[in-house]
Chain A
């Protein structure tokens, strides 16, 4: 199997005719963990949603290939089946569908008819992963995200990540709203996935998650572009000094999208 690859070239994305992502380049390979950091409103969620195919976001320019294939030629479910995963900042709640049924449908969607995962095997896997994520087993039978607290939803996203085993995962603010213990649990889940066949893009505006998941590369996003890239030390400097020095360096007054002169 070839190493997973996600290659973004000169991407531009609009929402309701307002351009949010303004020419973004990034390449992620299997075995690599990238982090995108940046203050609120700089386009991080827009980037991740557009890559997954969220209906509200319009890609106006640029190329994205996923394992050599044109990502934007694929439907949302095809992207997922090709191995792309997005842990969403605000996961939906769906009434009447249990977490377990949902996960089983997701797994079986990747399998041929007649090759569906056996119930026993599924339950075994699910139990194992829920235990690792310190989730109460009752969550399997609750309706999908319905009434889950913020932290429970985040854990549930990681549970899906672990059950589905994608090739490249984007984790959009998986750390927000988590206390330090929950943060460690989520990090444990992600670290468990780490291998040469798995690439990951962690989106966050705090450095603290990166204390538990050491990234290979760190990028800073402002005004809908990556404005600076470096190694883990960049994250540490941001933690210590904030974003102002980058803004100064680049002559940016307001880092959010749409504020530039």
Chain B
């Protein structure tokens, strides 16, 4: 985790209003955003299509100018600069794009050399730097080929090399992995992580995939209709999402919680009391779960769930079928609630609707149902045995 706390990028009530197209109404693409991005961190911006993510990030290198408020990059207020004065600022900020945006008329080397030409580097220095960058992104053998012959992942590596050419302190990545398959996405994310760790570059990652945030971001901002509705440590946002939009995104990255359809299928196989129990670093672990159930004389069978890593810390949930006498199940659930969040789905005979963190959308959720389970439990230090990704489905006896 980066130690520095100074905001290398500061949004101060930044607003971008586009005039309406034709006779349409104006669009408030970014609406009074105040936000600090710290030096040395990987900062994620997530939101649905049209939320204003691209516009927000384009304010950082002034590809779009604010219509209100200001953006301060490295102490320089962009709002007051002329177009010509902005060019050197832009040259000091690298940017990678979803569609790569490489010049088809130039070879891989030529593309990487482009920003160096703009910055006026002499030829010899340019060539040395290009070779260095090709090495860094692992494309030394592709120097002389044209981009059209490269795969998507290779193109994005060229894009990243090009963005790093002039030693920027900030790298902006607008949906850098959205055009790539999962495996290539992993490679490119690893590369971005290396850029952050080895070169100390502040990385701003725009995405609509929570998985990207989960795997590399230190902090994240959630955008909706031009506004930042939630911002915080990635782990905090995952473990206790406060906004509905955030909850939905979290659910897409953590497929550990049963959807209503999955739940319906589970009920046909498991007739007992089904609950989903949160597992995270602080609030609980399967050991706590096992102990609590034993203390109450309740049998638990894991029927669904998984624990994964968020910001390199364990996080997830287990869905368990509980079988016990009389009020023992209710007592066990109450005891669990003291240490973590619990979604109580009831039994097949007496189902309960919960507005769980895990459910994609629950417009029909019972408003009088159990309290929002999204809040993390308190106390009990985690002793979670789950390190990497442990995915469980089916029946495993605890």
User: Do chains A and B stick together as partners?
Assistant: no
Hey, which bits of chain B sit against chain A, CB under 8 A? none
